Structure 1
Amino acid sequence: MVGSKDLPPSTTPFFPNVFFRNQFRAKPQWPAPGTSLSGQTAIVTGANTGLGYEAAAQLLGLQLSRLVVAVRSLERGEAAAAKLRQLHPKATVDVWELDMSSYASVQAFARRADAQLQRIDMVILNAGLVRLAFHKIEATGHEETMQVNYLSTVLLAVLLLPILKAKGSPNGPPPRLSIVNAALSLAAKFPNRAANPLLPSFDDPAAFDAREHYHSSKLLAHMFLWQLADRVAPADVVVNLADPAWCKGTDLGRDVQSAPMRAAAKLFGAATGRPKAVGASCLVDAVVNKGQESHGCFLMSWQIHPFSAFLYTPEGAVVIQRVWDETLAELDFAGVRGILESMGA
């Protein structure tokens, strides 16, 4: 298999070349006619709105039997689930609470999945945010973008690995776990790359840069997957990253307070953004169309794409190891080292 690590790093400038191709030239890869997910169970986080909701609807449209909508607000989750149930009355749609700013909530969600789901075939970790102002999560001490987009996301991914391995179909393909990423990870300047320790440097309000924090939160996922893929056998669980590209009509920029900025973002989205259905198809592609060949890969424009070019450099190798070591140390309370050892790749 030729994965993202095996590809030569892309030297194409991100803007406008990569952006233009990703937004306008790439062709969607929809599931083949007759694809059926009957009997299967999926979890989609952040599925009450935007791309998460659209991806959930597309999975149900493929006759998915059971869907777990994982959301911070049960009220909004139930409202979304009611629409999904009306459209797909034969499916079971459950709403479970998941607050990605809380380690305790992430752990509770994983325990519930283990206790209450007999089978899990696919997981889309879609929940994420963009913070335009610095905000620290008091319970963890971390800046919120990093907490939600990176730390809590990789914690949930690791906690779900042995559960997926145990609850996948005995006669079907291995379970798939896809983490929603972004092409903007390729544009990250990563100005604090030399910080040692690294992760605490994102928690300094004086160094906060909304754009770079978001880009870096996605870049860190590249680094984590670089190491994780060697510790998880693709025959047990397929893990990948999926980029839906820039899409119109999502709530990713819900933190924007400035009316001019909201108007500019809306105008830019209308002119360049993909429809939500097309963006969400990237997430569905990652868990339905793609198989073991996508393990440990960054999927962009429905294709296996190289990671950020920085990861292929000698400096990148050092930082990848630092991110891995610091992340495992941060998540030691949840026993992540033991979980990864138990996967026995």
Structure 2
Amino acid sequence: MATSKDLPPFDVGFGSIFVQNQFRTKPQHPPSTIDLTGKVALITGANTGLGYEASKQMLALRLSHLIIAVRNQAKGDAAASKLRALHPKAKIEVMIVDMSKYSSVQEFAQRVDNQLPRLDIAILNAGVIKLKYTTEPSTGHEQILQVNYLSTIFLAILLLPILKRKSPPGTPGRLTIVNAALALTAPLPKAVGHKSIIATLDDPKNFTPNADKNYNMSKVLAQMFAYKLSEYVSADDVIVNLVCPGYVKGTELSRDVSIILRPMLALFSAIAARTVRDGASTYLDAALVKGKESHCSFLMSWKVSPFNSFLYTPEGKDAADQLFDETMKELEFANVRGILESMRSATA
């Protein structure tokens, strides 16, 4: 089966893609015969919404050990308590990670490495939408860019060697990063003037009040990184994929939406949105059902789908190269290039 790189780009507009994804695609829940006994999984942002529902669905498939990775201990404990009541035989623990801070991401990855003798599955679900331009004080980056792209990719890279080492021999680890079909609407990110792509996106002049452009751009950056990641990571070691859960009601992603817009959003959700149960099933499909054909690909409608169309152009491929180099420079304090090189050399 073809990967996203091998597929032709979409030849229809986003409206057609949205209708097909939301209304004409039947949800595909994982088979109940999948048995996760003995396996260990971590899910970021698992105290609510899609992350919580995915946790519940994986525990129903007899997952032995779940790590709820959240930034708030009390909320994590509350979610863990509810899940323990449903699945008393499973080991469920809470670990703290603040995805806006590099130091917290590093500490979390180190804790995972030190404390877990095994890790089979990681689902990076945490993300934000901000309606006002806000910077993260510890890095100086705009927060949507920081959380949805920079810190998420940072954590993904740190987890790669852990998943490779701590999955059973002969079985690749699984790393699923939550993405969005809205990435398909984002324009080619370009550096303006003497700035880098990242610096251009950090510029408050490029932030729109409704945040759609910025959120969508953060998701397309992840697609660009996945495009490059296949050069370093073998599907025999870790299967990495991006997944779109579709438009889903009952999540907290839009909690910052203004009071004026909430009634309109509620009406649109009632008409068009998926249930949380169906949305979370896309996570399980990506992390448990899809195989090596999904490596470094974008999954939508429960199947491998094309990336943003500009990634199939020379200009788009050049931008992906540039973004990759900028990301490596941004994260060089943690030797992420060395980590990726070690993954490549180990499989060469």
Q: TM-score, normalised by structure 1?
A: 0.97
Query: What is the distance in 2 between the residues matched to 1:249 and 1:45?
Result: 17
Shift of 1:98: 0.5
**Cα offsets for 1:239-283 (capped at 9, x unmatched):** 000000000110001122x21212221221111100000000001
Q: Residues 27 and 302 of structure 2 are in contact (CA less than 8 Å); yes or no, is this contact kept in structure 1?
A: yes
Shift of 1:132: 0.7
**1:32-181 alignment to 2 at 5 Å?**
32-171=31-170, 173-181=171-179
Query: What is the distance in 2 between the residues matched to 1:313 and 1:69?
Result: 39
Query: What is the distance in 1 between the residues matched to 2:158 and 2:73?
Result: 22
Query: What is the distance in 1 between the residues matched to 2:293 and 2:117?
Result: 26
The code of the aligned residue for 1:176 comes to R
**Cα offsets for 1:272-298 (capped at 9, x unmatched):** 100000000001111110111110110
Query: What is the distance in 2 between the residues matched to 1:247 and 1:68?
Result: 24
Shift of 1:206: 2.1
Query: What is the distance in 2 between the residues matched to 1:262 and 1:97?
Result: 31
Query: What is the distance in 1 between the residues matched to 2:169 and 2:309?
Result: 38
Q: Residues 53 and 277 of structure 2 are in contact (CA less than 8 Å); yes or no, is this contact kept in structure 1?
A: yes
Shift of 1:116: 0.5
Query: What is the distance in 1 between the residues matched to 2:24 and 2:74?
Result: 39
Q: Residues 172 and 236 of structure 2 are in contact (CA less than 8 Å); yes or no, is this contact kept in structure 1?
A: yes
Query: What is the distance in 2 between the residues matched to 1:220 and 1:239?
Result: 15
SS of residue in 1 equivalent to 2:261: helix
Query: What is the distance in 2 between the residues matched to 1:299 and 1:307?
Result: 9
Shift of 1:193: 2.1
Runs of 4+ aligned structure 1 residues displaced above 6 Å come to none
Q: Match for residue 306 of structure 1?
A: 306
Q: Percent identity?
A: 53
**Cα offsets for 1:293-326 (capped at 9, x unmatched):** 1101100000000100011112101111111000
Q: Match for residue 285 of structure 2?
A: 285
SS of residue in 1 equivalent to 2:230: helix
Shift of 1:194: 4.2
Q: Residues 191 and 200 of structure 2 are in contact (CA less than 8 Å); yes or no, is this contact kept in structure 1?
A: no
Shift of 1:31: 1.6
Query: What is the distance in 2 between the residues matched to 1:341 and 1:49?
Result: 36
Unaligned runs of 5+ in 2: none
SS of residue in 1 equivalent to 2:242: strand
The code of the aligned residue for 1:28 comes to P
The code of the aligned residue for 2:321 comes to Q
Query: What is the distance in 2 between the residues matched to 1:223 and 1:259?
Result: 34
Q: Match for residue 20 of structure 1?
A: 19
SS of residue in 1 equivalent to 2:69: strand
The code of the aligned residue for 1:154 comes to I
Q: Match for residue 183 of structure 2?
A: 185
Query: What is the distance in 1 between the residues matched to 2:220 and 2:29?
Result: 27
SS of residue in 1 equivalent to 2:35: coil
User: Given the alignment of the two structures, is residue 230 of structure 1 paired with residue 231 of structure 2, yes or no?
Assistant: yes
Q: Residues 239 and 292 of structure 2 are in contact (CA less than 8 Å); yes or no, is this contact kept in structure 1?
A: yes
Once superposed, what is the RMSD of the aligned Cα atoms?
Answer: 1.0
SS of residue in 2 equivalent to 1:299: strand
Query: What is the distance in 1 between the residues matched to 2:158 and 2:230?
Result: 15
Shift of 1:329: 0.4
Query: What is the distance in 2 between the residues matched to 1:97 and 1:329?
Result: 26
The code of the aligned residue for 1:220 comes to L
Query: What is the distance in 2 between the residues matched to 1:303 and 1:343?
Result: 27
The code of the aligned residue for 1:177 comes to L
**Cα offsets for 1:183-235 (capped at 9, x unmatched):** 00001135x52434110111111221211110000000000000011200100
The code of the aligned residue for 1:248 comes to K
Query: What is the distance in 1 between the residues matched to 2:47 and 2:32?
Result: 27
Q: Match for residue 328 of structure 1?
A: 328
**Cα offsets for 1:127-177 (capped at 9, x unmatched):** 001111100001101000000000000000000000010000125x31110
Shift of 1:92: 0.5
Q: Residues 4 and 304 of structure 2 are in contact (CA less than 8 Å); yes or no, is this contact kept in structure 1?
A: yes
**Cα offsets for 1:36-64 (capped at 9, x unmatched):** 10000000000000000000110001000
Unaligned runs of 5+ in 1: none
Query: What is the distance in 1 between the residues matched to 2:142 and 2:46?
Result: 23
SS of residue in 2 equivalent to 1:63: coil
Q: Match for residue 254 of structure 1?
A: 255
SS of residue in 2 equivalent to 1:337: helix
Shift of 1:28: 1.8
Query: What is the distance in 2 between the residues matched to 1:175 and 1:207?
Result: 38
